[in-house]
Chains A and B, each alone.
Chain A
Amino acid sequence: MNGRIFMQHDAILDLVQGMARLTRHQLGQRGIEDPAMIGIHTGGVWVARQLQPLLGIDEPLGELDISFYRDDFTRIGMNPQVKPSKIPFEVEERHIILVDDVIQSGRTVRAAMNEIFDFGRPASILLVTLVERSGRELPIQPDVAGLQPPLADDEHIRLEGPDPLTLRISGRPGAREET
């Protein structure tokens, strides 16, 4: 494990409390009372598990592995750790809270939305991320973000977990990470 620890478990949970407050506010503004939640494998699922009880969502969490929807399959091939996507509720006409750990290029979220639509047509999708960082390549922005750390282009931030959750920053000049 290289890089430096940027934030540790308890501070991350405090951040998630704030995210829950902002998400409730957003839901209220949109008049949404019965949302369902989907986390993007792996980090997004960890964040969603923390967020879910704070929003009073009892329904089981959906888990998406977007490996089959990536736009770079022809370049990097199959993700060897692919897991089945599970959405244990009807997506059709539901209001969905989509959760990921870090948004950078926006490509993961694009892939996740494509996959969600293959389960059904949701009424709406609200995007919540723990970290919103620079480097967007698609016109996709989170509705709620826990923090926006100032990072250089060659710095990477990633969530490790699930117990404890740790945000770690590493600098790998020249390398680009798809997040």
Chain B
Amino acid sequence: MRENLQLNEAGELRHLLSIEGLKREHLEHILDIAESFAVLPGRQVKKVPLLRGRIVTNLFFENSTRTRTTFELAAKLLSADVINFNVSVSATSKGETLLDTLRNLEAMHSDLFVVRHSHSGAAHFIARHVAPGVSVINAGDGWHAHPTQALLDMFTIRRHKGDFTPLRVAIVGDIQHSRVARSQIMALNTLGVTEVRIIGPCTLLPAEARSLGVHLYHDLESGLEEVDVIIMLRLQRERMEGALLPSAHEYFQLYGLTEARLKRAKPDAIVMHPGPINRGVEIASEVADGPHSVILQQVSYGIAVRMAVMSLILGARGGGNE
């Protein structure tokens, strides 16, 4: 049911809620379209008129300046108009239900909702209840999914490595509570990489890890052996307060990516991070700022990938209000 919700009858992307349910062709198509958007910053006018007259609403129930800003910029570069609906200061805090909020925003003729919510499944819920012709992009829901982040990571990997097939990719850190990691693992496996490794302490690796199609490592150094891509995850402070971890210092001793540990990976390995980075917690500054790091490119590519997703969704038959 969830898979069907994302695609229309012609098999085109109608909503983007999760990587789950999308085929390799869908992911590759998004990445191909993003290539055409990635060249726009080199031009005098950086925007294209594709979504002129469309309204995109950023519906953020959870704070995220970076993700919201890149979605906003992506929509504006497509010439759409953007409403930023910040829920913490809006009607929901006055007792309005989610559906009432939604109906009000639909009455403002929004064509696309970009939704971030702390509850898993929130974007699906909204996608099931929007009017026909209105689309939803999941910008992160609970621990469940963050598909555009995974797609921009895949775009970054493809730009640096070309083919996915021979790659070994290590994801390091708090996999258990990471919607980013869940979406990345699904995307990497869908695109057919050789191996996905997840590395972290027992308390932060998911119990169902093996069913995700990954290899588990508790030791960072052996896990990084011969990998092509290292994805570091942000360590959330509350994990330490929740007694899942001893301290930031101790975490860095065991799982922080240092130059010495990076040498275990292939000489041309790239280092990625969804941001914002905790220097000296999950990654050493020398690595974050070093020649292997592609962290800032991820941010730029995120705009092109979000433009691709928005234009595909609003270009699909039955997408958007006409």
Chain A: residues with CB nearer than 8 A to chain B?
65, 67-69, 73-74, 76-78, 80, 82-86, 91-92, 114-115, 117-120
Contacts and interface: CB of A to CB of B under 8 A. Distances in A.
B36 A83 contact: yes
B36 A65 contact: yes
Contacts of A115: 48
Contact of A77 (B32, B43, B49, B317): B317
Given A77-B12, A77-B317, A69 B48 contact: yes
Contacts, number: 52
A92 B36 contact: no
B182 to A, nearest CB: 27
7 contacts: A68-B36, A68-B311, A74-B315, A74-B322, A118-B43, A118-B47, A118-B48
Given A68-B49, A73-B50, A78 B311 contact: yes
A69 B49 contact: yes
Interface of B: 12, 29, 32-33, 35-36, 38-39, 43-45, 47-50, 311-312, 315-317, 319-320, 322
Interface centre among A68, A69, A91, A118 (most CB of B within 10 A): A68
Given A68-B48, A78-B33, 16 more contacts: A65-B36, A68-B50, A74-B315, A77-B312, A77-B316, A77-B317, A77-B319, A78-B315, A82-B33, A84-B36, A86-B39, A92-B44, A114-B49, A117-B45, A118-B47, A119-B43
A84 B320 contact: no
A64 to B, nearest CB: 11
Interface centre among B12, B36, B320 (most CB of A within 10 A): B36
Nearest to A82: B36
A155 B88 CA distance: 59
Nearest to B10: A77
Contacts of B50: 68-69, 73
B40 to A, nearest CB: 9
A92 B35 CA distance: 24
Contacts of B49: 68-69, 114
Contacts of A85: 36, 39
